[in-house]
Amino acid sequence: MLAVLEDAVATFQKYALATAGPGARLFRETDEWLRSPDERWPFSFRNLCAALGLDPDRFVHGLDAWRDARRAGRTPAVIASPFRRINGSRHKATGRPVGLGRLRDVA
């Protein structure tokens, strides 16, 4: 649920100033999702906020304030999510079982 909300915020911020093309469409769809009062769908904005303990009206108000400040040139293009997680390093497939180290000829 948090990932869905993070993606919506990232899309909102990325395309907030778009006036045409796919960016404007993505912004409009995201903005409509954020403002929808629909609670029938499990992943509606209102249900996500309820599950995460967030006030949906305050959340949208904050995004609107950010967008207005962005249009006026008073805020950075994107605000990093405080929820972003960085999980260790990537693992590489070696083609040998884990924990056996280097296979040696035992002849």
CB of 62 closer than 8 Å to CB of 81? no
Contacts 24+ apart (CB under 8 A), 48-57: 48/1, 48/4, 48/5, 49/5, 51/1, 52/1, 52/2, 52/5
Q: Specify the pLDDT at position 49.
A: 96
Asked whether residue 85 carries a pLDDT value surpassing 70, the answer given is no
Q: Specify the pLDDT at position 73.
A: 86
- Tell me: the pLDDT tens digits for 5-29? 999 999 999 999 999 999 999 999 9
Q: How far is the C-alpha of 12 from the C-alpha of 82, rounded, in Å?
A: 16
> Is the pLDDT higher at 101 or at 16?
16
Strands (E), 1-107: none
- Tell me: the pLDDT tens digits for 25-80? 999 999 999 999 999 999 999 999 999 999 999 999 999 999 999 999 887 777 66
Q: What's this model's pTM, rounded to 2 decimal places?
A: 0.71
Q: Which pair of structure tokens corresponds to residue 96?
A: 């040998």
Q: Specify the pLDDT at position 79.
A: 67
Conformational region of residue 44, where left means phi above 0, alpha means psi within -120 to 50, and beta covers everything else? beta
